[in-house]
Amino acid sequence: MLRVENLESGYGKIHVLQQVQLEVMEGEIVSILGANGGGKTTLLRTLSGLNPAYKGSITFMDRDITHMPDYKRVEAGLIHVPEGRGVIKELTVIENLELGAFRWRREKEKVARKIKEAFELFPRLYERLHHKGGTLSGGEQQMLAIARGFIAQPKLLMLDEPSLGISPIITKEIFKTIRRLRDQHISILLVEQNVKAALHVSDRSYVLSHGKVLKEGSSSELSADSDIQKMYMGA
C-alpha cells in the first residue's frame, strides 16, 4: 500500500534522508528503528507532506503522492500521529477526539460511532471523557493522540515514538492496541527507539542510520541479528 523509492528529504539545505527504499503491505505492522537523529521523524514528516521530498517517489494506494499537499494525504487515509502527541491541552478528551473527525463533523452519527469505537480501544479515555488534555498522564495523552488518529479513519497509521516517556505497563497496553488496530485492517508504520518492543509487535522492520536504510528484514530475523543486538538491545 505504501512504496517509497530513493527518497531524499531534509530541512532546507540540511539533507537528512538519502535514497530511502521502503514498503508497507496491507495489514502489516512495520517499524522504523534506529538511534536518535537517524532520520526517523524526518521520514514520517516527509511521508505525511510536512517536509518536501527532494528526490524519489512516494506511492500510496497506487497513487503518486510525492508532491501531494498534506491534507489530501489525510483524505487518502495516511494519518500521522506526531512525536510529542499533539494533544490540545485546553480541550477535553472528547473535544480532542472530535478534532479527529473534523472532515465529517456534519455526519453526527458517524462521528459518535467512531468515538465509541475509540473508547472501546482505550477504555481509560472514557473514564477521562471531560478532563482537559493537559491534565492527563503522558500515557493517556499518547492514547488520546492515537485514538484521534484512529477516528480520522486511516488506511495507514504512522506513529512516532508512542512509547516515549511512558511507563512500561502503559507501553504494553499501547502496543497491544496497535495489534488490535491492525486486526481492524489498519496498517501501521511505527517509529520507535524501544527496539525490543518494536521488533516484538511488528512483522518487518527497517533500521535507519544517518538518513539511510542500514538493514531491513522480518522482525524475527532482525531480533536474531547480532549487530542489532549489540547496537540497539544492549547485548
| 41/142 with CB nearer ligand ATP | 41
| 45/73 with CB nearer ligand ATP | 45
37 binds ligand ATP (CB under 6 A): yes
Alpha carbons 47 and 41: distance in angstroms, whole number: 10
Least separation in angstroms between residue 23's CB and ligand ATP is: 19
SS3 234: coil
Least separation in angstroms between residue 34's CB and ligand ATP is: 6
Stretch that binds ligand ATP, among 11-19, 62-70, 125-133, 141-149 (CB under 6 A): 11-19
14 binds ligand ATP (CB under 6 A): yes
Alpha carbons 216 and 85: distance in angstroms, whole number: 27
CB 121, CB 147: distance < 8 Å: yes
52 binds ligand ATP (CB under 6 A): no
Sequence-ordered list of residues with C-beta below 8 angstroms from that of 39, at least 6 positions apart, any chain: 16, 17, 20, 208, 210, 211
Alpha carbons 70 and 59: distance in angstroms, whole number: 14
Q: Which of 24, 40, 136, 198 binds ligand ATP (CB under 6 A)?
A: 40
Sequence-ordered list of residues with C-beta below 8 angstroms from that of 158, at least 6 positions apart, any chain: 44, 47, 48, 78, 79, 80, 81, 188, 189, 190, 191
39 binds ligand ATP (CB under 6 A): yes
The residue written with cell numbers 471523557 in the block is 129
Residues 170 to 199 in contact with ligand ATP, rule: CB under 6 A: none
Least separation in angstroms between residue 184's CB and ligand ATP is: 27
- Which stretches of the chain bind ligand ATP, using CB under 6 A? 11, 14, 16, 34, 36-42
